[in-house]
Structure 1
């Protein structure tokens, strides 16, 4: 590395540290280019991206079809607001609702906004359809959830870092254990004011916790029994990441791994984001059928940028890539290969306790305490060895590469990961 290159990297980090709010703790690498499964730093070193911008870049970095959709639309029209119609939004809404099997879509920008939208939608349905007394509606959520960091969302988080010194908090939420059907039924059977159950099909930020095989199916059945909306936050787990178009589909047999067939579980409210745009532009959405979505009327909810023509064009292209390149099938196949390879290594490892996950959303648990810096040090060494990942919750390292990865590239990454872990054994 030349002195000039080193200065460039250090300068970029110094500028963020001086002029940016310190609400993130990035791995010390300065990226300047991405393509497919690879990213390059300002010094020109190539890395495998094993985080995919927290599963936003499922289609790979700078996918040409998605970038072309962005640039072509940007030359025509970028924003109208919803004060007027535009010629892309209805086309996007039709394509996406048919793609996922719903009647209507409410377009928003970010994942947290989409969760907030789903909460509002659920509450309005509770008062106008279910008949709960005004302001009495409650929504059941799971402990160790991650749905964003807005004021309402952190009100039902049990992450002290996200919550501390941000009160007063928003009422109207009941927290239960994740993957605990008995506790869910106890709450639903004893509280007629429950309007919805908000859940991540797999708890990603908490450490890629995959629930019991029949958890989502039985939870949805309980919601139907007690007339409660089942709300799936698929911002991170959706769009083929877990080997199905939606993680909540369970063992859906439809050949495209999409909800156009008959999924095991169909959420009453579906929340999407991240890879809905392939990481090219902020796009999120809430989908529901008419009996739920029709409670939203003009003036109830909105966003200046929500449903803009640029977002619409990008999202359609991103979903077409997932379908045409069979990314769900690839994620399912490669995920099995990855976990099998890691499990063979773990049999003789002292540093790595287990691997868990579904599709290409996986995590390894490091044999150290949650407050140790071992996982962070391993990620630094992975960086040095040409692979980028980050810890979550102290001793857990999440692995989520772009879904366009080939088997050969995956095995190269497995070799890097095992080689690095052996340095800590």
Structure 2
């Protein structure tokens, strides 16, 4: 029999991580252990079909909890339905097709002169097509087990996946680590506690700009750009002149739009990020198997996902009512509902929101300048078509989504990419 989500102060929680065999997971476990006062976990279940990886990750997770004195029970399972029974929250961090599929996403678009990247362009569409049906199936099984459980999606492409979940009526919020990464970066440059920094963060997942950086309520972005502009621009791999001209800090994913052709040329020389990640993952899994290891290794920082654990703990704690203060402001992927008036209400945007037991409510956003609003609207239209293709299939729908993407937009190019996408993903597309 299912239960309702545990009210604030009612005792330890049950959390489930789907994709628990990911090499990311020890980052998450470390956060759960350090921040246990905010999120009192009684049981944590790591679920993954890859039993061999799961045992390696699960063993390290238990050692991390033990070292930090966390009393929670960590179990591992390949049985999703049994695992999500009585769960208060379910975190999704899966990769359909694994690093092999990612490697393809980052390779075949380059054959057509387009950026190869797992969340942007044609590769991002391929990932969405593979991922959305799987995530919706998982979410439906969670709903059957406990309709009150919250679903937190960290699975890319987060915006499209979150929109799919919300459209299907699930209690879902999307999460990305880009915003918290910027918060920590800016706090470090200024030498202040991260909690004193609030971001005027606006856009879509992996398509955002920091239009303000508020230290105790005062916008210090001009000072940051003046004093630390070269370091910020270097991190973004964008020209300092552009960053200063914009007066904002774009997400580093904007480089795929602002310097597309340069990025393509670079990728053709240095190869895919997937091969680098696969090598890192191999080393990490070997390290995770060492029974003497009882903390997340430094190498994990090269895997990506920095500060994911803090963002996840803050979000889940607010959704379940165990965090403080109530109604905390966090950057999440949330239903638009008029926040950006040039988008449909059911679009999913990435902005600061107040988060509580009833979900996430976007804060008011100052008028978005045409330079940003135009690209946001364009990519949102693509995301809507991408979701339609993921839900209903067909070559025509894939072609339309690619034709609508601002990095593609040409008939012959979209046609070539459609054929390659289907050829490389046929085993994951029920309709192909």
TM beyond 0.5: no
TM norm structure 2: 0.31
Bigger helix share: 2
TM norm structure 1: 0.31
